[in-house]
């Protein structure tokens, strides 16, 4: 099988990645990470079905703190546009985990204070260039309200829909041939995460 290397990011994604590194210098900006790496089911009996449903869901970028905890996710829109259903699935899923979500385009990046406030809270904007004014706080609150209303409308619609048909015969191996920790976290299997260097 003949393969060759390719870039992980397109031109617009690369611009956003560099911008996120500048806006969140104290965090790690990870590329195209599946959401099953940083969320887990509340009910273990539903783990395999949820993994089947979520295994192909990822965000363009995931921001994590030094403990490896995801604090926010960003999707970069290009010419193909992100479908409303895909966006709402991610909003609902990440909101349940208390992880911020932002959808943006490379040509129109938000103010640094706004995305920091979304992911870290209003008190975390001190390292941004623009001071957080009463007007800015109002904008952030308005944005959060719109997102909350959107999520609640989606929840209302999805509760009226029939439950998804979930296949239970899914393998617990990822596409990389490694055991996946989504159904049962690695620590609970007696396996240890690799130590940091």
Span 178-190, pLDDT tens digits? 455 555 555 555 5
Report d(CA 62, CA 73) in Å as an integer. 4
More confident residue, 170 or 76: 76
Pairing of strands 28-34, 58-64: antiparallel
Among 77-86, 146-155, 166-175, the minimum mean pLDDT is found in 166-175
Of 31-35, 119-123, 128-132, 182-186, which one has max mean pLDDT?
Answer: 31-35
Query: In whole angstroms, how far apart are CA 68 and each of 28, 46, 157, 188?
Result: 9, 25, 33, 18
Q: How far apart are the first and last CA of the chain?
A: 33
pLDDT of residue 193 exceeding 80, the answer is no
pLDDT at residue number 179: 53
| Confidence label for 167 from pLDDT (cuts 50, 70 and 90) | very low
β-partners of residue 76 are: 104
Among 25-34, 50-59, 133-142, the minimum mean pLDDT is found in 133-142
Closest by CA position to 23, among listed 93, 138, 100, 134: 100
| Confidence label for 147 from pLDDT (cuts 50, 70 and 90) | low
Structure tokens at 57: 């869901």
Range 33-45 burial, b when 16+ CB lie within 10 A, else e: bbbbbbbbbeeee
Structure tokens at 49: 């079905």
Report d(CA 149, CA 145) in Å as an integer. 6
Q: Which residues contact 55 (CB under 8 A, 6 or more apart)?
A: 34, 36, 170, 174
How many beta carbons lie within 10 A of that of residue 112, not counting itself? 18
């Amino acid at each position: 099988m003949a393969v060759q290397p390719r870039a992980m990011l397109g031109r617009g994604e690369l611009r956003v990645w560099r911008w996120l590194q500048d806006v969140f210098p104290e965090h790690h900006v990870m590329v195209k990470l599946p959401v099953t790496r940083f969320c887990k089911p509340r009910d273990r009996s539903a783990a395999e079905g949820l993994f089947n449903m979520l295994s192909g869901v990822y965000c363009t970028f995931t921001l994590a703190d030094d403990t490896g905890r995801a604090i926010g996710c960003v999707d970069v829109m290009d010419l193909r546009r992100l479908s409303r259903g895909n966006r709402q699935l991610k909003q609902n899923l990440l909101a349940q985990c208390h992880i911020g979500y932002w959808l943006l385009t490379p040509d129109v990046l938000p103010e640094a204070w706004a995305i920091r406030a979304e992911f870290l809270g209003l008190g975390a904007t001190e390292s941004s260039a623009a001071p957080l004014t009463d007007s800015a706080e109002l904008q952030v609150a308005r944005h959060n309200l719109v997102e909350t209303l959107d999520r609640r409308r989606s929840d209302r619609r999805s509760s009226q829909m029939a439950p998804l048909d979930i296949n239970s015969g899914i393998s617990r191996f990822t596409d990389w041939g490694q055991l996946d920790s989504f159904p049962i976290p690695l620590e609970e299997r007696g396996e240890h995460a690799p130590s940091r260097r």
